[in-house]
């Protein structure tokens, strides 16, 4: 382990397809952590090792690498780029000290890139940008750089620029060093900038110098007076500006050509902070942990991975103090004492036992813990501290789960339940109305991959179905009815008699029961039974088997028998009264409506709005900024159960959306007729 001043803990962040995993592979190769670069197409990369990742050729969970570079310890986290697998983004950003933000030279900053950049800003993390794929035929480096300003509103300082043309890249120019890295026989060698590119590099240098000067009041005065800054002044200002977020250095390269990796690692060492530079950690009680080896040993568990040997690996960031394998710390959320004896460093799926004590900034894997979960804090019991848990986004979509063979519901439930340990963005529950097992997640792909994992690990066949839409039923009007239950079969009979007044309530009012019995017409002990009978019948519905909502029942009269009356008899009477009332009232079907927020490149706005209209959506407004339009609309839930693949197809994979339940409203007659017919068919 090198000195903490040289240690770096950082995440690679970017949208899907920008080449993050290939970039990580190049960095590991340049640092000597691996002896050959794997390929995503072959499923041989170090950090994409889950079977689902290799088969889909895409990252689906955070991956971790610990390595040394020029005497400095690096802890690298490679994040997925698909919105389906970014639910724990804020947890990862809490655990790192800086970010490499990867942008595709072909597309520039995509809509999801804005969301990712905002999360980086909210976490107050310094970042450097790497523009990848400069070797591709359709690469447009200038467009990609300009998108950093137009889409993200940042002040980029271009540190490197491509030499050559898209599809025929010759190397990289150092904008401020007047040197170059040139490709020669597939290897990068030091050289000078070719004459035909010197003018272009000079322009970039002037623009960069002006941006650097603008970040510092003293420098801007000197720049305005002299028109020049020294290399030392620029280096110092870039380092300071990166840490404060005033400046964002931009580097370039081509991961698959192994071009730009060493320069990027040098930039990480030079520009991103060490853990000693991190601000103090604070908990909700005002307690403080300094990012120092001299403070109380504290570990924040920010991620959980499945492990074939020990069930789970708990990924922890050392917040403060030093942690060694002979140490026990207390889980602040459960009070359990946990041994650090199995602490390891990670390099993809490979584990290396930790021999020496590690300090702040270290990312360690712990196994065989008793009660730890993602979000827990381990520290000394006598000096309590809890790292505030970051927010996770709400689940966007739900699907129903069923066993392929009848009777296997419990196995399905147990198989998915195991995944909840490692994925805080999955939710598993049973629908009280439909009795379906429902799984909720960040998107269709998120849920499909979760089911793939569960089937592979638990050897259980699972069928994934679109869930039933949670319709509701309601009434219009007001009616008074009698519910009378009388049964005599020899011996003690059953008798319950009630009169109720049932009327509609405003939308969202729920159910109200009023006890208006006077004079003991119904004994006190039987009144709750009438209420229960009504509620149970309301849950079973009247039109199509969906719960009846937004109505009031007033129980105002009835009669009883000294011997034959019972709670069961009055429960039956309440149920009979409810059914009679429903037959006389006007019953309506209500459908759930969600608020949908769609972010898309401007050129797709017409297609998306037209599609929303075809789904009976009502556009509430739109806002365009930096080439991205955000559309807000109310859409019936039944119309967007499979919206994710449709949006992906409409926007060439660049659209993203969030949604949340908003309200219920009366369904159109054709929808009501369809739902009632489907219920009747199932009931036969």
**CB burial string 155-182: b at 16+ within 10 A, e below:** bbbbbbbbbbebeebbbbbbbbeeebbb
Could you write out the DSSP letters of every residue in 607-649? HHHHHHHHTT-EEEEEEEETTEEEEEEEEEGGG-TTHHHHHHH
Q: Where are the alpha helices (H) located in 421-526, listed in sequence order?
A: 444-458
The sign of the torsion formed by the CA atoms of 181, 186, 187, 190 equals negative
Residue 58 sits at the vertex; the CA angle it makes with 57 and 64, to the nearest 5 degrees, is 120
Tokens, residue 163: 């030499």
The whole-angstrom separation of Cα 62 and Cα 72 is 22
Q: What are the angstrom distances between the C-alpha of 648 and each of 184, 645, 651?
A: 40, 5, 5
Beta carbons of 173 and 180 less than 8 angstroms apart: yes
Residue with tokens 């250095």: 249
Architecture field, domain 472-584: 2-Layer Sandwich (3.30)
Give, in order, the Cα–Cα distances in Å from 325 to each of 329, 339, 382, 420, 512: 11, 8, 20, 28, 60
CA–CA gap between residue 469 and residue 107 (Å, rounded): 37
Angstrom CA distances, 455 to 296, 437, 464, stand at 43, 16, 11
Looking from the CA of 562 toward its CB, the CA atoms found within 13 Å total 0
Rounded to the nearest 10 degrees, what angle do helices 231-244 and 217-226 cross at? 150
> Which DSSP symbol is given to 83?
G
| Cα 519 from chain centre | 59
SS3 for 307?
A: strand
Which residue from 470, 477, 476 is spatially nearest to 546, judged by alpha carbons?
470
Q: How big is the chain, counted in residues?
A: 684
Collapsing DSSP states into helix, strand and coil, what is residue 64? strand
CA dihedral defined by 594, 600, 605, 610, rounded to 10 degrees?
Answer: -40
Q: Do domains 398-465 and 590-680 have the same CATH topology?
A: yes
Report the pLDDT value the prediction gives residue 547, as an integer from 0 to 100: 92
Give all strands (DSSP E) within 516-667, no chain letters: 551-559, 586-601, 618-625, 628-636, 656-666
Q: What phi and psi, each to the nearest 5 degrees, are found at residue 6?
A: -100, -5
What pLDDT sits at residue 312? 86
Q: What are phi and psi of 45, to 5 degrees?
A: -75, 155
Distance CA 41, CA 171 (A): 25
User: Assign residue 339 a region: left if phi > 0, alpha if psi is -120 to 50, beta otherwise?
Assistant: beta
**Tokens 């995440």 label which residue?**
11
Find out whether 377 and 301 touch, Cβ atoms under 8 Å. Answer: yes
Nearest 5°: the CA angle 165, 167, 173 is: 45
CA gap 286, 312 in Å, rounded: 32
> In this structure, what token pair is assigned to residue 497?
């008699």
Nearest-angstrom CA–CA distance, 526 and 530 = 7
Give me the residues of the chain with pLDDT under 50, please: none
Backbone φ, ψ for residue 601 (5° rounding): -60, 145
Q: What single DSSP character describes residue 585?
A: S
- pTM for the full predicted model: 0.81
Contacts of 681 (CB under 8 A, 6+ apart): none
**Other C-beta atoms lying within 10 Å of the C-beta of residue 11:** 25
pLDDT, position 684 = 65
The structure tokens 């991190």 sit at: 278
CA neighbours within 13 Å on the CB side: how many for 330? 12
For the purposes of burial, counting CB atoms within 10 Å of the CB of 682, is it exposed (0-12), middle (13-18) or buried (19 or more)?
A: exposed
Separation between Cα atoms, residue 546 and residue 433, nearest integer Å: 7
8 A C-beta contact, residue 288 and residue 388: no
Q: What would the CATH number be for the domain defined by 398-465?
A: 3.30.70.870
Half-sphere exposure of 64 (CA within 13 A, CB side): 26
Q: Which residues contact 564 (CB under 8 A, 6 or more apart)?
A: 486, 488, 492, 493, 494, 495
Query: Which residue do the tokens 């639910």 mark?
Result: 87
Q: Hey, what CATH topology would domain 4-194+248-277 get?
A: Rossmann fold (3.40.50)
Beta strands in 211-297 (DSSP E): 248-252, 281-282, 288-289
d(CA 536, CA 362): 56
Rounded Cα gap, residues 426 and 576, in angstroms: 41
Alpha-carbon distance values, 496 to 183, 516, 533, 577 (Å)? 92, 17, 12, 11
Q: For the domain 281-379, what is the CATH superfamily, name and number? A: Translation factors (2.40.30.10)
The domain ranges of the chain are: 4-194+248-277, 281-379, 398-465, 472-584, 590-680
- CATH of segment(s) 590-680: 3.30.70.240
d(CA 265, CA 271): 10
Question: CB–CB of 197/173 below 8 Å?
Answer: yes
Closest CA to 54 of 64, 44, 65: 44
């Amino acid at each position: 382990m090198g000195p903490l001043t040289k240690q770096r803990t950082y995440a690679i962040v970017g949208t899907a397809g920008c080449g993050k995993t290939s970039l990580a592979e190049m960095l590991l190769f340049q640092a000597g952590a691996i002896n050959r670069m794997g390929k995503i197409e072959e499923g041989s990369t170090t950090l994409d090792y889950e079977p689902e990742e290799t088969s889909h050729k895409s990252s689906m969970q955070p991956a971790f690498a610990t390595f040394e570079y020029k005497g400095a310890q690096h802890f690298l986290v490679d994040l997925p780029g698909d919105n389906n697998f970014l639910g724990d983004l804020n947890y990862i950003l809490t655990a790192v000290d800086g970010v490499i933000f990867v942008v595709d030279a072909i597309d520039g900053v995509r809509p999801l890139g804005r969301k990712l950049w905002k999360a980086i800003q909210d976490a107050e993390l310094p970042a450097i940008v790497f523009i990848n794929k400069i070797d591709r035929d359709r690469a447009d480096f200038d467009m990609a750089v300009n998108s950093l300003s137009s889409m993200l509103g940042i002040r980029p300082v271009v540190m490197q620029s491509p030499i050559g043309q898209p599809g025929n890249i010759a190397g990289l120019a150092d904008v401020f060093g007047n040197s170059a890295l040139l490709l020669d026989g597939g290897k990068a060698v030091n050289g000078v900038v070719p004459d035909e590119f010197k003018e272009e590099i000079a322009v970039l240098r002037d623009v960069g110098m002006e941006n650097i000067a603008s970040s510092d009041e003293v420098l801007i005065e000197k720049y305005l007076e002299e028109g020049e800054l020294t290399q030392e002044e620029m280096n110092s200002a870039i380092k300071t500006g990166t840490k404060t977020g005033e400046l964002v250095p931009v580097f370039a390269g081509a991961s698959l050509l192994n071009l730009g990796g060493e320069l990027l690692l040098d930039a990480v060492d030079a520009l991103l902070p060490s853990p000693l530079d991190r601000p103090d950690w604070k908990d909700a009680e005002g307690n403080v942990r300094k990012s120092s080896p001299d403070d109380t040993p504290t570990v924040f568990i920010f991620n959980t991975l499945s492990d074939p040997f020990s069930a789970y690996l708990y990924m922890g960031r050392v917040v403060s103090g030093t942690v060694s394998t002979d140490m026990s710390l207390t889980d602040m959320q459960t009070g359990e004492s946990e041994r650090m004896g199995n602490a390891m460093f990670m390099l993809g799926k490979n584990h290396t036992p930790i021999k020496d004590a590690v300090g702040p900034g270290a990312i360690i894997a712990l196994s065989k813990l008793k009660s730890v979960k993602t979000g827990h804090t381990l520290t000394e019991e006598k000096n309590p501290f809890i790292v505030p848990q970051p927010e996770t986004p709400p689940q966007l979509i739900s699907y129903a789960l069923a066993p392929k063979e009848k009777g296997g519901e419990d196995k399905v439930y147990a198989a998915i339940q195991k995944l909840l340990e490692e994925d805080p963005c999955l939710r598993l529950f049973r629908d009280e109305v439909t009795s379906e097992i429902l799984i909720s997640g960040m998107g269709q792909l998120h849920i499909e991959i979760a089911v793939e994992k569960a089937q592979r690990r638990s050897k259980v066949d699972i069928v994934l179905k679109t869930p039933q839409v949670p319709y509701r039923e309601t009434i219009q009007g007001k009616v008074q009815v009698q519910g009378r239950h009388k049964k005599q079969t020899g011996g003690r009979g059953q008798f319950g008699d009630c009169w109720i007044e049932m009327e509609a309530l405003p939308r969202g009012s729920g159910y109200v029961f009023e006890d208006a019995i006077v004079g003991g017409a119904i004994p006190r002990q039987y009144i709750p039974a009438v209420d229960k009978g009504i509620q149970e019948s309301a849950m079973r519905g009247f039109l199509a088997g969906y719960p009846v909502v937004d109505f009031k029942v007033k129980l105002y009269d009835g009669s009883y028998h000294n011997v034959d009356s019972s709670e069961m008899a009055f429960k039956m009477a309440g149920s009979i009264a409810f059914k009679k009332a429903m037959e006389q009232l006007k019953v309506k079907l209500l459908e759930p409506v969600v608020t949908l927020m769609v972010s898309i490149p401007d050129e797709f706005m017409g297609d998306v709005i037209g599609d929303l209209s075809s789904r009976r959506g009502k556009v509430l407004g739109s806002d365009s900024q930096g080439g991205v339009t955000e559309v807000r609309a109310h859409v019936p839930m039944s119309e967007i159960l499979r919206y994710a693949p449709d949006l992906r197809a409409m926007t060439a994979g660049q659209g993203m959306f969030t949604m949340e339940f908003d309200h219920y409203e009366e369904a159109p007659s054709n929808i009501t007729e369809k739902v009632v017919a489907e219920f009747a068919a199932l009931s036969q």
